[in-house]
Amino acid sequence: MKLCRIKTADGIKPAAVEQNNTLRALSGHVADISSTAITPEGLALLANVDLATLPQIIGDHAPFLSDARRIFCIGLNFYDHAAEMGLPIPEHPILFMKACDATGPTDPIVIPKGAEKTDWEVELGIAIGSPAQHVTKAEALDHIAGYFVGNDVSERHFQMDFGGQWMKGKSANSFAPLGPYLVTKDEIADPQNLAMSLEVNGEAMQTGSTATMIFGVAQIVAHVSQFVTLRPGDLILTGTPPGVGGGYKPPRFLKAGDVLSAKIEGLGATRHDVVAFKS
């Protein structure tokens, strides 16, 4: 099932995507696509809905989850990305957080005030559906509600040139675009074999696959759960393939007027206009 939230004249409404890509309104069955709706119990109720009988809904996509709790991120998690950055393979997942609100799959990306090196990172996203604490790798997938396209937008100047934690370069407004929908895990046969790509102004910048992840989805969830109790509505971005702007020689970064688009096999696509900061 593909779950999303649609902007309408009457506010944001919950919806699902039918097999022919028609959007169907779910308002008669659920108040919103929330952390409660993506629990195993919530998804079981929605799985019984006959989408073909529901009214069609039209509008732009909002963030697919109304109450995303926390956004965790895994750094340097692709062998080929670590190589392009000239960095060693991590012994353990590099964990950090984005301290900004999630935005939708067509919302603008705003270059922050004082930015010099705004970069892109298409990433496979995980949405947690049930609490996970000290789970094993074998148990980890049971706690996932589904997957989505994420983009760990990063200001490298803030991230690298001011010392301390990476969070400062990851948390500007608009730096967590997600969507266009949450694809429940039953629709993804193998999250470790999904093609990924990103373009800037129609030019291919990133091309890769989740097959080259250093730490796989199950291992990531198990690892994070050893230190943080994961809850429904928590999101994890799992790392990016090669082709980030900072990896090019010379580096290439975003500027106002650019159009950034990304897609992951089976999970849909995002498209964002890049705009300048306005006070």
Residue 226 falls in which region: left (phi positive, over 0), alpha (psi -120 to 50) or beta: alpha
| pLDDT recorded at residue 86 | 83
Q: How far apart are CA 275 and CA 177, in angstroms?
A: 14
Q: How far apart are CA 50 and CA 32, in angstroms?
A: 18
Rg (CA), the chain: 18
What CATH code would you report for 71-276? 3.90.850.10
Average pLDDT over residues 253-267: 98
Q: Which residues pair with 149 in a beta bridge?
A: 124, 179
Burial 165-183 (b: 16+ CB within 10 A, else e): ebebbbbbebbbbbbbbbb
Q: How far apart are CA 64 and CA 6, in angstroms?
A: 8
pLDDT in tens, 130-164: 999 999 999 999 999 999 999 999 999 999 899 88
Q: Which residues pair with 154 in a beta bridge?
A: 119
pLDDT in tens, 77-126: 999 888 888 889 999 999 999 999 999 999 999 999 999 999 999 999 99
Average pLDDT over residues 266-270: 98
Q: Indicate whether 170 pLDDT > 90.
A: yes
* Among 64, 7, 98, 37, residue whose Cα is nearest residue 267: 64
Residues 6+ apart with CB under 8 A from 119: 153, 154, 155, 156, 244, 245, 246, 253, 254
Q: What is the mean pLDDT of the chain?
A: 96
Residues 6+ apart with CB under 8 A from 158: 112, 114, 115, 168, 169, 172
Q: How far apart are CA 247 and CA 110, in angstroms?
A: 21
pLDDT in tens, 182-204: 999 999 999 999 999 999 999 99
Domain ranges within the chain, ordered by starting residue:
2-62, 71-276
Q: How far apart are CA 126 and CA 183, in angstroms?
A: 10
The full length of the chain comes to 279
- If 0-12 CB within 10 Å is exposed, 13-18 middle and 19+ buried, where does residue 193 land? exposed
Burial 204-223 (b: 16+ CB within 10 A, else e): ebbebbbebbbbbbbbbbbb
Kindly give the pairing relationship between strand 235-237 and strand 71-75. parallel
| pLDDT recorded at residue 19 | 85
